[in-house]
C-alpha cells in the first residue's frame, strides 16, 4: 500500500512532490497504521478517501501551475480581451447551433437528392412529417434561446439602461 502511495505521488507536479513527498508518506504511514486497526469499513473508507484526495490534489496542483492561481474561477470564463469576457456556456450553445445548421444542411441535401431522383414523396408518412417539424421547431427554439442567453450573459441587454452622463467641461 505504501509503495502504491509513493507511486501515486508522482501524479503531482515534480516541484510539489519534491517538497512534500517525505512528509506525505510519513503521515500516510501513520494514518494507514491507525486505519488498519479499525473495521473493514474504516479501512475501505480510508483507502477511498486517500485515493480521491490524492487525485483531486494532483489535479488541483497541475491546474494551479497552468493557471498560475488557486482560483478556479479564472478558468470558468474565456478572456477575449481584458475588458470583455465570454461566458463558457456560449461555446456549448454555439456548438449546438452549429450542429443544428449542419443537420439542416444535411436534410436539405437529402430532400434535393430525393427530388432529383423523382421520388413520389420525400415524407414517408404523416407522423414522420410532424415529428420532423417538431424537431426543427425545438432546434430553432433552442438556437434562439441560446443566442438570447449568450447575449444576456455578455450584458448586452443592460446597454439600453445606460443613462447619459453629465457633460464634461474639458
Partner 1 sequence: MEPLPLTEPVLLVLLSLAEQPRHGYSILKDVERMSDGRVRLSTGTLYGALRRLLDAAWIERVKEDESPRDRRPYRLTSRGRRNLQLEVERMRHLTKLAALRTARKEA
> Which cell is 45 given?
473508507
φ/ψ of residue 82, rounded to 5: -55, -30
Q: Which is nearer to partner 1, 51 or 111 (CB)?
A: 51
Shortest distance in whole angstroms from residue 1 CB to partner 1: 13
Instruction: Identify whether the C-beta of residue 28 lies closer than 8 Å to the C-beta of residue 40.
Output: no
Which residue ranges make up the site for partner 1 (CB under 8 A)?
16, 19-20, 22-28, 30-31, 49-50, 52-58, 60-61, 70-71
- Which of residues 56 and 137 has its CB atom nearest to partner 1 in the complex? 56
User: What's the min distance (Å) between Cβ of 62 and partner 1?
Assistant: 12
Q: Which is nearer to partner 1, 12 or 146 (CB)?
A: 12
Question: Helix or strand or coil: residue 124?
Answer: coil
What is the nearest approach in angstroms of partner 1 to the Cβ of residue 24?
Answer: 5
The helix (H) or strand (E) run that includes residue 79 is strand 77-81
> Could you give the CA distance from residue 38 to residue 47 in angstroms, rounded to a whole number?
12
- 14 or 164: whose CB is closer to partner 1? 14
Which residue number, 54 or 122, has a Cβ lying nearer to partner 1? 54
* Residue 134 beta carbon to partner 1: minimum distance, rounded to whole angstroms: 47
In whole angstroms, the minimum distance from the beta carbon of 70 to partner 1 comes to 6
Cα separation of 9 and 20, whole Å?
10
Alpha-carbon distance values, 2 to 20, 42, 50, 59, 129 (Å): 15, 17, 12, 21, 64
Amino acid at each position: 500500500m505504501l509503495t502504491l502511495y509513493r507511486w501515486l505521488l508522482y501524479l503531482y507536479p515534480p516541484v510539489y512532490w519534491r517538497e512534500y513527498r517525505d512528509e506525505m508518506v510519513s503521515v500516510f504511514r501513520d494514518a494507514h497504521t491507525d486505519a488498519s486497526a479499525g473495521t473493514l469499513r474504516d479501512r475501505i473508507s480510508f483507502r477511498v478517501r486517500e485515493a480521491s484526495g490524492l487525485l483531486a490534489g494532483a489535479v488541483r496542483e497541475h491546474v494551479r501551475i497552468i493557471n498560475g492561481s488557486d482560483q478556479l474561477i479564472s478558468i470558468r470564463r474565456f478572456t477575449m480581451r481584458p475588458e470583455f469576457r465570454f461566458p463558457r456556456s456560449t461555446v456549448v450553445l454555439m456548438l449546438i447551433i452549429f450542429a443544428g445548421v449542419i443537420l439542416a444542411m444535411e436534410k436539405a441535401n437529402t430532400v434535393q437528392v430525393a427530388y432529383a431522383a423523382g421520388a413520389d414523396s420525400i415524407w414517408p408518412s404523416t407522423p414522420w412529417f410532424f415529428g420532423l417539424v417538431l424537431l426543427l421547431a425545438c432546434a430553432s427554439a433552442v438556437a434562439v434561446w441560446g443566442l438570447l442567453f449568450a447575449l444576456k450573459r455578455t450584458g448586452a441587454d443592460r446597454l439600453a439602461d445606460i443613462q447619459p452622463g453629465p457633460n464634461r467641461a474639458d
